[in-house]
Amino acid sequence: MNFLDYTLEELHEKLVNKEWTAVELIESVYEKIEETDEKVGAFLTLNKEEALEAAREADKNGIDPNNILSGLPVGIKDNISTKGVRTTAASKMLEDFVPVYDATAVEKLKQAGMISVGKLNLDEFAMGGSTENSALKTTRNPWDLTKVPGGSSGGSAAAVAAGQIPVSLGSDTGGSIRQPASFTGLVGMKPTYGRVSRYGLIAFGSSLDQIGPFTRTVKDNALVLNAISGTDDKDSTSYRGETPDFTENIDKGVKGLRIGVPKEYFHEDAKETAIVSSVRQALDEYKKMGAEIVEVSLPHSKYGIPAYYIIASSEASSNLQRFDGIRYGYRSENINSLEDIYVKSRSEGFGMEVKRRIMLGTFSLSSGFYDAHFKKAAQARTLIRQDFDKAFEQVDVLVAPTTTSTAFEIGGKIEDPLAMYMADVLTVPVNLAGVPSLSIPCGFSEGLPIGMQIIGRPFDEQTIYRTAYAYEKATNHLTKKPVFKGGE
């Protein structure tokens, strides 16, 4: 089975009508993984026996006709805890770590009847933009196997794009859902900070991290966000308000909607004119549908990259202190003292990019440099948030390119950290401001997908989905499918 051929509602209907059983559906997942994952490399761990047992239970109890997610498969990014299933964060440090609890998002998907089939590759501890920083394997883009799938949630994106699974969960700290979604032609949502509980997500940047879904279609994405959203007493930063139905009014259209175009996002860094051209064409489409297009300014977004990398690295240096070679995780064998345990375990257990960010964060927080670096970055973050607040006084959503390029060659930027960091220039302001943003496909350049991000007011994911759905219905990008070009 190729899951690119079905929406979640269509899969659900076939289960309810007994055209196939949940067991047959899950078996087809593993058949597809066996057929394609040697090329793609999306999965790190498979839990076939547990998944088939859950499917047998679903068949025995009957598929809930009122619950679209019941009996459907899902893949989980490997920095999200899964009870009894290895969770590595794609790091040597946690290569054999098996959690004793589920992350809240995973728990909620299970309550909705979804069946987790395995864990997906990522950049180590979610630090990177290509999934090349994984200590365990390389993941490739199903559209062109010589290209990266994006990162850090590259495995989550590649698995859905390859048709292995219909849904996956990723995490987004500075673009790690939206950029891979853009590179692989998917719909990827970074919800408002606090919309989805972070409990069970291995922390990178605690004030920035957010879990979200990858899907093929906009409505599928909204259905999954419905399931994973909500207040969680285990996460003090989770939103205490009501969670709406994100599919409500999704088909209302965009007539009368005011769409903002941030001029700073259409600048010279968008090196591929095809990207800017595709987004401009999408804006023309919105205009035809009755939306009003308004130019706005986000002047402080130019400080996004330096502010983000100082704040995120500072939080990472603090969060990763727990990996000390004593409590859990990797411990060096070549030790002669307590200091050896700390120094050698961390030096051998962490990859180069993780160590680079720990060093940058520790420096930024150190005495004598805090005011010059971290404090300034925090002030820039406030200005960026205020820019978004001001823009949303004029418009309902913002539309802009997701990335400055399409998927690049494997090995193309890994030796140039600054080039890799600059690739996040259009995504990090959203995380610094804590607002929601969805990336959807809006065209192709030389056979590779182009992504467009729709940014909304805090906790107004509904309007984002409505805007994205209108465009998806007006265009035919879903008719194209990955071709696995460049394989042996």
Where in the sequence numbering do the catalytic residues fall? 77, 152, 176
Q: For residue 152, is the peptide bond before it cis, meaning its omega torsion is within 30 degrees of 0?
A: yes
Report the amino acid identity of residue 189.
Answer: M
Instruction: Tell me how far the alpha carbon of residue 181 is from its chain's centroid.
Output: 7
Cα dihedral: 248, 250, 253, 258 (round 10): 90
- The answer to whether residues 225 and 109 touch, using CB atoms and an 8 Å cutoff, is no
Q: How far apart are CA 220 and CA 214, in angstroms?
A: 9
Q: Which two tokens stand for residue 450?
A: 């182009």
Cβ within 8 Å of residue 183, ≥6 positions away: 141, 147, 148, 149, 150, 157, 403, 406, 407, 448, 449, 451
Strands (E) in 246-384, as ranges, are: 258-262, 292-296
The amino acid occupying position 133 is N
Residues 6+ apart with CB under 8 A from 197: 103, 104, 105, 211, 230, 232, 234, 235, 238
- The DSSP code sequence of 210-264 is -EEEEESSHHHHHHHHHHHBS--TT-TTS--SPPP-TTTTTTS--TT-EEEEEGG
Cβ neighbours, 10 Å, residue 279 = 24
Output b/e per residue, 114-142; b: 16+ Cβ within 10 A. Answer: bbbbbbbbbbbbbbbbbbbbbbbebbbbb
Tokens of 326: 């004593």
- Taken in order 96, 76, 185, 397, is the CA torsion positive or negative? negative
Neighbours of 321 (CB within 10 A): 11
H-state helical runs in 17-91: 22-40, 48-61
Q: What is the DSSP letter of 92?
A: G
Query: Cα–Cα distance between 215 and 213 in angstroms, integer?
Result: 6
Helix, strand or coil, per DSSP, at residue 113:
coil
Tokens coding 245: 């139905």
